Structure 1
């Protein structure tokens, strides 16, 4: 138990600040649709094919346009994507509401980048993944260590004093209360970073090999991007194949030969941007392939539910409030753990000098 206690303290001391910042930034992102503050977010949602097709043709004709994230019930503006982090919000009729040349001009974008990449791309994802695994150990070991002191439990939202004993008692007792929420947040977040971990978590739903194969994006080859792709024809074909689905993300090819990709969300899908996809030949607009997310193996469908749970895209306000508690608790527990470990460490006990006995002759 002493070894577990030492590992728990060192885990908190070394990784606690990262977990605290992830908890705080994640909590802020839960409410981004409320504070972005761009005109048009309250417009009525227009998802009919004619309107979406006309707007798509208009927006994608803009120089440098690389794709669109379509408006939905939560955020009723289209997000147009350009290169190098540039973008724009546009109304559902195709009028530009605001533009930016870099993600640093939009707080919702750089906070998202920090929460997902720590501003460091793939390297940052690895750091977050390791922090997630450490956080998982932190929660499990904390529950085990709490059990031996369970009789002194006292729930406080804030330490009684900012002394080391009070902070440790608060850390222990608040931690056990929010442990289930922290476990859900950490597990679902880590699943999106480390695929082997995710496959292990969804293994009870089906064969791992089958799930892994289903999660791999299909590869298609087509011709070079046409000068004026017929987006209306593509959207019409997509609506024919998935008549009840919402248009979510349109993406141009990243390199020659790649298809134009369209993601759609069917009513029974949890993911806000869906996983039902169509691939169109960039040269001709012909359908190269389509994938129905609701027909994926059970393991893949279980994996696709991790992000909606993690980001409160399901469950309404009740679940969002619980995740808010989880995020704020993680921020508090992580930051106080680092502070007590590095700046409030117990002082070494001072042993009185041994008196030298004088021998008498």
Structure 2
């Protein structure tokens, strides 16, 4: 049984090791995306006054010719608003509503294509599914690795890197260092799989969790025949949101999707872990009147638990210490995946027969 488990562990590692390495390294880089983006104004202080937010939104959304599809507002760690346009086009704007830089393709911004690589492998929903399967296989590596390590636990040696690049040294480092980081690696794999595969959600959060989460996060019914007015009071939506949730952080303002006739405004209350929050207000696209408001703190317990999955996966909670832990986890996955493929496919030199010694 152990021999079969070892064979399966090694073969799967040799086949998808590089894929796991790509996911690990790209995830480690994305954890610190706000630091290395390098756009002028990224370090500006976070503006939270309602009047300033309303004025910036009105300025960016007023002109139908230049209006973005959505605005992701600045945060404490990143002092620029991010705008999304049709296709892959986007822009950064300062918190007063002035455009700082634009791009027409994701390849013009490393943080954008790196995000697409990590989440979709540059292949949309299909790539996301492949990444999810790789995450589940990676979780299997953690479990089988612990099983295979247990009989050899007395020979454990802590090393940051392999002693040398020999096959024996790499495999021993892989075994001992992997055991140390097994909890963090498992957390990364499980949280990633939950976000992609709803059956995994049911397995982790309990039967029926998928249906409950979908139902509780469902937007209100579309307003049939309602079209976006050219002169909406965008600032008024933010003022209304702040009236209802005075301490909430304004996060995302989005145009109606798929003819819904609803403008959405997402907020993050202080108790929410999700960076962009799930507290949502919907406004009629023709008049700007408030249609419905959803308080994320009043969602069912399993929906709130699901909302905490992404912050755990992307190290959006816990501050710098947790970001460093997840960085080590991602880089370790990159090291393991690369060296596993190299040692698996590297042909060992046949041992030379030694001549018998003559007394």
Instruction: Please give the alpha-carbon distance, in whole angstroms, between the structure 1 residues aligned to 2:140 and 2:104.
Output: 41
- 8 Å Cα contact 1:19/1:334 also seen in 2: yes
1:190 aligns with 2:193: yes
Instruction: Please give the alpha-carbon distance, in whole angstroms, between the structure 2 residues aligned to 1:133 and 1:75.
Output: 32
1:144 aligns with 2:147: yes
1:93 aligns with 2:82: no
Gaps of 5+ in 1: 352-361
Bigger CA drift: 55-64 or 183-192? Answer: 55-64
Q: Secondary structure at the match of 1:149?
A: helix
Question: Could you tell me how far 1:52 is from its partner in structure 2?
Answer: 0.7
Instruction: Please give the alpha-carbon distance, in whole angstroms, between the structure 2 residues aligned to 1:202 and 1:217.
Output: 22
Corresponding position of 1:55 = 56
Matching of residues 2-17 of structure 1 within 5 Å: 2-17=3-18
- 8 Å Cα contact 2:273/2:317 also seen in 1: yes
Paired residue for 1:252, among 233, 236, 255? 255
Instruction: Please give the alpha-carbon distance, in whole angstroms, between the structure 2 residues aligned to 1:290 and 1:196.
Output: 29
Gaps of 5+ in 2: 354-359
Instruction: Please give the alpha-carbon distance, in whole angstroms, between the structure 1 residues aligned to 2:80 and 2:134.
Output: 34
Matching of residues 141-290 of structure 1 within 5 Å: 141-203=144-206, 209-222=211-224, 223-290=226-293
Bigger CA drift: 33-42 or 253-262? Answer: 253-262
- 8 Å Cα contact 1:220/1:288 also seen in 2: no
Corresponding position of 1:310 = 313
Q: Secondary structure at the match of 1:28?
A: helix
Bigger CA drift: 164-173 or 121-130? Answer: 164-173
Q: Deviations over 1:250-282 (max 9, x none)?
A: 110133234111110000000110000111111
- 8 Å Cα contact 2:142/2:185 also seen in 1: yes
Instruction: Please give the alpha-carbon distance, in whole angstroms, between the structure 1 residues aligned to 2:220 and 2:196.
Output: 20
Instruction: Please give the alpha-carbon distance, in whole angstroms, between the structure 2 residues aligned to 1:77 and 1:135.
Output: 36
- 8 Å Cα contact 1:60/1:67 also seen in 2: no
Instruction: Please give the alpha-carbon distance, in whole angstroms, between the structure 2 residues aligned to 1:179 and 1:241.
Output: 44
Output the TM-score relative to the length of structure 2.
0.92
Instruction: Please give the alpha-carbon distance, in whole angstroms, between the structure 2 residues aligned to 1:299 and 1:20.
Output: 31
- 8 Å Cα contact 2:170/2:339 also seen in 1: yes
Corresponding position of 1:127 = 130
- 8 Å Cα contact 1:59/1:80 also seen in 2: no
- 8 Å Cα contact 1:247/1:263 also seen in 2: yes
- 8 Å Cα contact 2:80/2:93 also seen in 1: yes
Question: Could you tell me how far 1:123 is from its partner in structure 2?
Answer: 0.6
Task: Give me the CA root mean square deviation.
Answer: 1.9
Instruction: Please give the alpha-carbon distance, in whole angstroms, between the structure 1 residues aligned to 2:156 and 2:242.
Output: 57
